[in-house]
């Protein structure tokens, strides 16, 4: 028996050793470096099988390509639009089995045995590195009957690393940190994908592959992570070195395009409902807001305005909308802006369908979701000629004809339900659908932005999109989180999803305030008169106040003047609506920083506190610009009869001095507190040293008023804030027609300084009055105008300094 067991064990050991030797020889034969060639923009490395290309795009940006074939694809990236015309100097050397590339900021080390790449800072400290085994691979695969190669990259990941980004996934878990968890990266209905990752170790990654993918955050016992795309012929990724998150996002947008400036009105409140069915109904909502003096800027005409005509016919039903131009004119006269939902689908029987079909611009992809309209067909958004025709059809029939101000870009996945293999098998002008699975929305928005810039020259583009991909920000897109439900669970998930969408380089994100539909009611309409639903809407509205775009939408009437809200609810909603409008100088200036400096408004805590590991796992706190820490209340705190179960939520305050926005009291950072959270309070904390410009109360964003601005100063540290102003809604800012002035606070001297105004534009005020308020307990608090300012000054555009 002993001899038998020994013999069996020896056979197993020998077999295992043979497998190891074979695997090692096969791996080395594939990976080992044979030679390299230095080129003007980087190096190309010849392996035993295949090639690696490292392109030095900048001192802190590197593109890596790998293939098992003898040449790389000749393709134009759909994501990266920087041509890197300027050559970045670098040096190459060999030492101890390594090839080393050195720039002014990086040392990039390639192991000649494993081909693994390690990224170090200029002092030799490791930033990150590819795994020694399986770092870059192509594997034969057959998917949906299509022969292809799955593509993967694998990186080392120390235990204390946190990972953010990867887009918006509306129905996902509540986690904020992707370390140790997996994420599907496949764009479909209610599932997003933006292949951008930020690490607290100070780097970012962008995978330039468009097929359905997966991120695995817990490989090799959480010491590695892997990104796998189901189709491709080469690995292609970009490495960005920060180390700060703001700089990583700056580099990402340097590679993929800046976000253009939005019109000022778009930072006010959007009123939307599923759906306004008549012209009279739209105008009644306009009257309801203006007669009640409730601040609002936009109203939205959602879907089926074309019914019973086929989708894509772009004809407003004249029984229900007898004069669309007059309707939009009436909105404009009342200082409303108007957005309309137009889909990338064409139903049989319309002239537009026939024109798209005649030119060969329709795909084989059918809409297969709620209504199973299998005759509704998506056009080929990857075809530039098809995009041009699509724009021209909508422009002439709807957008320019009736003078709409913004476009809701719905159904841009394309949404074909469970028939995802049909998307894989579709033939786009650029190739098979499997290789362009995630880029439909990116290309669709590209055509809209091109057309808008060409033909709507005096209006800044604003597109609300249901899906986005890396690079979408350059087409004036705001990502919204799709058809979420009216539940606290859905609301709670929105906070980390918004944070991670913005950490993915997309600066503008929004959710349907209140949720889109109820899963309980057969018609999907929530009962807003019920106290628990009012509480949900109120908490969501508070969160929306501190989202990049502030937008009500969903089934059931939820306008702020609606009788669905009792008076206490109306008072709270109006309080936060007024707060949003008072903060417009702060918000609009941050939007300018997005465009001018690639800033991020909705900020994961790691943007500002990257070296504090306590913030890595917090899913429901974020910074809104440099001043505010926002802490949404996402748990239901009241019973059905309105009795409180709890009135606090836990808030972690990183190391700094913090002011309670509502009371002016200071709290030391580095601790977790129980924040007061009655229904009329969203816990807000302002960092010491913050300077916040607050406007007077207005009813729409561009309302002219002679009332003074309030400058709130939060003492305890030095600080400054740069105010941006322009003409509000055209592209003259691209010609330098804007003005900037910086307000500074010297904490030691208790001095406020304002520098000379830089720049000019038509309408720039020559004189303005500022009420300076030094915040303290019960002074300069809350949303209201502070009655007794500490000092009032008149600023004429020339520098001045005052003592407080």
Alpha helices per DSSP H over 426-566: 440-455, 488-503, 531-545
Cβ neighbours of 32 (radius 10 Å): 15
* Integer CA distances (angstroms), 321 to 271, 318, 334, 366, 736, in order: 19, 5, 19, 28, 41
* Integer CA distances (angstroms), 446 to 121, 262, 266, 429, 638, in order: 36, 16, 20, 15, 46
User: How many separate helices (H) and strands (E) can be counted in the chain?
Assistant: 15, 48
Check 130, 208, 380, 483 and give the catalytic one.
483
Sheet holding 196-199, edge to edge: 33-39, 42-47, 51-58, 61-67, 235-241, 203-207, 196-199, 163-165
Q: Distance between CA 294 and CA 334 in Å, rounded?
A: 13
Tell me if 350 sits within 8 A of 419, measured CB to CB.
Answer: no
Q: Is 413 a catalytic residue?
A: yes
DSSP state string for 370-422 = SS--TTEEEE-TT-HHHHHHHHHHHIIIIIHHHT--EEEE-STTT--TT-HHH
DSSP label of 521: S
Joined tokens for residue 425: 């098998």
Q: Is 410 a catalytic residue?
A: yes
Helix, strand, or coil (residue 540): helix
DSSP β-bridge partners for residue 164: 198
Q: Is 521 a catalytic residue?
A: no
Q: Distance between CA 513 and CA 490 in Å, rounded?
A: 11
Tell me if 640 sits within 8 A of 230, measured CB to CB.
Answer: no
Residue 24: its H or E element: helix 2-31
Tell me if 298 sits within 8 A of 338, measured CB to CB.
Answer: yes
Q: Distance between CA 196 and CA 440 in Å, rounded?
A: 18
Mind spelling out the 3-state secondary structure of 759-800?
Answer: ECCCCCCCCEEEEEEECECCECCCCCCCCCCCEEEEECCCCE
* Integer CA distances (angstroms), 260 to 453, 569, 589, 663, 790, in order: 11, 36, 13, 37, 38
Longest dimension (CA), the chain: 101
Please report, to the nearest 10 degrees, the dihedral formed by the alpha carbons of residues 628, 634, 636, 638 taken in order. Answer: 10
DSSP label of 130: B
- Residues 682-704, buried b or exposed e (16+ Cβ, 10 A)? bbbbbbbbbbbbbbebbbbbbee
Tell me if 715 sits within 8 A of 579, measured CB to CB.
Answer: no
Residue entry with tokens 């189709």:
231
Residue 41: its H or E element: none
Q: Distance between CA 322 and CA 330 in Å, rounded?
A: 13
DSSP label of 456: -
* Integer CA distances (angstroms), 102 to 83, 118, 122, 135, in order: 21, 12, 8, 21
Residues recorded for the chain: 804
Check 63, 274, 410, 710 and give the catalytic one.
410
Check 413, 422, 608, 725 and give the catalytic one.
413
Helix, strand, or coil (residue 454): helix
Helix, strand, or coil (residue 645): coil
Cβ neighbours of 373 (radius 10 Å): 16
Q: Give catalytic residues, as residue numbers.
A: 410, 413, 483
């Amino acid at each position: 028996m002993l001899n038998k067991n020994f013999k069996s064990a020896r056979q197993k050991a020998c077999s295992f050793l043979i497998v190891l030797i074979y695997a090692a020889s096969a791996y080395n034969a594939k990976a080992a470096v044979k030679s390299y060639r230095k080129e003007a923009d980087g190096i190309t490395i010849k392996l035993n099988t295949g090639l690696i290309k490292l392109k030095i795009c900048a001192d802190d940006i590197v593109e890596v390509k790998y293939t098992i074939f003898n040449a790389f694809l000749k393709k134009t990236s759909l994501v990266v639009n920087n041509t890197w015309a300027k050559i970045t100097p670098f040096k190459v050397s060999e030492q101890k089995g390594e090839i080393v590339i050195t720039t002014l900021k990086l040392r990039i080390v390639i192991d000649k045995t494993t081909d693994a790449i390690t990224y170090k800072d200029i002092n030799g400290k490791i930033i990150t590195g590819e795994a020694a085994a399986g770092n870059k691979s192509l594997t034969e695969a057959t998917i949906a009957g299509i022969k292809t190669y799955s593509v993967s990259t694998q990186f080392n990941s120390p235990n204390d690393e946190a990972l953010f980004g990867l887009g918006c996934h509306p129905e996902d878990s509540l986690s904020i940190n992707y370390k140790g968890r997996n994420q599907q990266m496949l764009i479909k209905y209610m599932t997003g994908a933006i292949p951008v990752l930020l690490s607290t170790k100070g780097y970012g990654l962008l995978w330039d592959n468009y097929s359905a993918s997966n991120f695995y955050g817990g490989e090799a016992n959480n010491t590695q992570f892997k990104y796998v795309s189901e189709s491709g012929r080469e690995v292609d990724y970009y490495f960005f070195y920060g180390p700060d998150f703001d700089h990583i996002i700056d580099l990402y947008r340097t590679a993929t395009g800046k976000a253009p400036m939005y019109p000022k009105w778009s930072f006010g409140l959007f009123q939307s409902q599923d759906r306004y069915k008549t012209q009279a109904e739209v105008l009644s909502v306009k009257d309801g807001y203006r007669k009640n003096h409730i601040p609002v800027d936009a109203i939205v005409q959602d879907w089926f305005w074309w019914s019973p005509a086929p989708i894509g016919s772009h004809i407003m039903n004249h029984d229900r909308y007898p004069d669309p131009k007059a309707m939009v004119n009436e909105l404009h006269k009342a200082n409303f802006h108007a957005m309309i939902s137009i889909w990338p689908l064409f139903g049989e029987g319309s002239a537009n369908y026939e024109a798209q079909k005649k030119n060969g611009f329709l795909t084989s992809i059918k809409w297969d979701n709620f209504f199973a309209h299998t005759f509704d067909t998506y056009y080929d958004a990857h075809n530039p000629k098809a995009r041009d025709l699509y724009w021209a059809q909508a422009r002439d029939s709807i957008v320019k004809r009736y003078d709409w101000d913004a476009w809701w870009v719905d159904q841009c996945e394309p949404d074909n339900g469970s028939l995802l293999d049909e998307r894989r098998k579709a033939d786009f002008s650029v190739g098979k659908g499997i290789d362009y699975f995630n880029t439909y929305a990116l290309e669709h928005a590209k055509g809209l932005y091109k057309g808008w810039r060409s033909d709507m020259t005096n209006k800044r583009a604003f597109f609300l999109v249901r899906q986005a991909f890396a690079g979408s920000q350059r087409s004036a897109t705001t990502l919204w989180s799709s058809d979420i439900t009216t539940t606290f669970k859905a609301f709670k998930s929105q906070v980390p999803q918004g944070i991670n969408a913005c950490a993915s380089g997309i600066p503008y994100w929004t959710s349907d305030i209140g949720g889109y539909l109820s899963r309980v009611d057969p018609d999907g309409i929530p009962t807003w008169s019920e106290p628990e639903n009012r509480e949900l809407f109120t908490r969501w509205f508070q969160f929306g106040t501190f989202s990049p775009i502030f937008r009500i939408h969903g089934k059931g009437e939820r306008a702020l003047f609606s009788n669905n809200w009792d008076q206490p609810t109306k008072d709270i909603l109006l309080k936060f609506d007024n707060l949003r409008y008072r903060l417009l100088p702060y918000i609009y200036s941050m939007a300018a920083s997005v465009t001018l400096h690639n800033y991020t408004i909705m900020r994961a805590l790691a943007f500002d506190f990257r070296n504090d590991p306590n913030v890595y796992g917090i899913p429901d706190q974020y910074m809104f610009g440099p001043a505010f820490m926002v802490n949404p209340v996402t748990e239901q705190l009241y019973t059905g009869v309105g009795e409180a179960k709890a009135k606090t939520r836990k808030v972690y305050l990183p190391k700094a001095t913090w002011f309670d926005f509502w009371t002016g009291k200071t709290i030391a950072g580095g601790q977790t507190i129980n924040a007061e959270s009655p229904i009329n309070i969203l816990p807000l904390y302002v960092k010491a040293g913050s300077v916040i410009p607050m406007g007077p109360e207005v009813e729409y964003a561009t309302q002219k008023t002679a009332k003074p601005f309030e400058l709130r100063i939060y003492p305890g540290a030095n600080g400054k804030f740069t105010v941006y102003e322009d003409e509000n809604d055209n592209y003259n800012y691209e010609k330098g027609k804007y003005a900037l002035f910086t307000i500074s606070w010297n904490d030691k001297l208790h001095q406020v300084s304002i520098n000379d105004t830089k720049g000019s534009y038509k309408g720039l005020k020559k004189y303005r009055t500022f009420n300076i308020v030094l915040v303290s307990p019960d002074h300069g608090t809350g949303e209201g105008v502070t009655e007794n300012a500490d000092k009032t000054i008149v600023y004429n555009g020339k520098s001045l300094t005052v003592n407080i």
